[in-house]
Amino acid sequence: MISSKIESALNRQIDLEGYASMYYIAMASWCQVKGYNGVAAFLYHHSDEERMHMLKLFHYINDRGGHGLVPAFAAPQNDFQGIQEIFDIVLSHEIKVSNEINALVELCIQEKDYTTHNFLQWYVAEQIEEETLARNILDKLKLIGDDKGGMYLFDRDLGMTGKTGKAKGKKR
């Protein structure tokens, strides 16, 4: 049985993951409207991943005898200055999520809830990947600078990659 303290903390994490999913949809929609279809596809996919992270928490809470709750999500930002700003926000948000996951792990240790501690290790590893991916994308954007041709290739390539940044297997 899950304690009410852990259940409450996990429900706050549901809110954070769900908000991230909506935020990435807002970013994807902006990119699609501005003609960045590859970046949009990447962000739509990223939104789906965040939703999966949220659902995983729901199932865990419910399976442990708690009740996963659907929060009222605040409306995310819908207008952006450019791709650089979007990925600055992505990195900032992923760092925030990592900090929250670490706080959850600390709470589990304090509460001696080793089952939830073990469950959260997947999120710990996932956040390392998420932050690395965002940093790698920002590094590429820095290299591109104001080069429109570079941005065109970046957009095209990002649309053909999965989460790891590797080609999806499409032949060119």
Question: Chain centroid to CA 17: how far?
Answer: 7
Distance of CA 151 to the CA centre of its chain: 23
Q: What are the tokens at 45?
A: 């996919």
- Predicted local confidence at residue 172, as pLDDT: 30
Residue 129, annotated as binding a ligand: no
Domain boundaries in the chain?
4-159
CA distance 111 to 116: 10
Question: What pLDDT, on the 0 to 100 scale, is given for residue 162?
Answer: 55
Find out whether 127 is annotated in a ligand binding site.
yes
Token pair 């970013």 is found at 27
User: Exposed, middle or buried by CB within 10 Å (0-12, 13-18, 19+), for 83?
Assistant: buried
Q: Is 49 annotated as a binding residue?
A: no
pTM: 0.90
- Cα distances from 12 to residues 5, 19, 119, in angstroms, run 11, 11, 16
- The CATH T-level fold of domain 4-159 is Ferritin (1.20.1260)
Q: pLDDT value at position 138? A: 98
17 labeled binding residue: yes
Rounded mean pLDDT for each run of 10 residues along the chain, 172 residues in total: 97 97 97 97 96 98 97 94 97 97 98 98 96 97 96 94 49 34
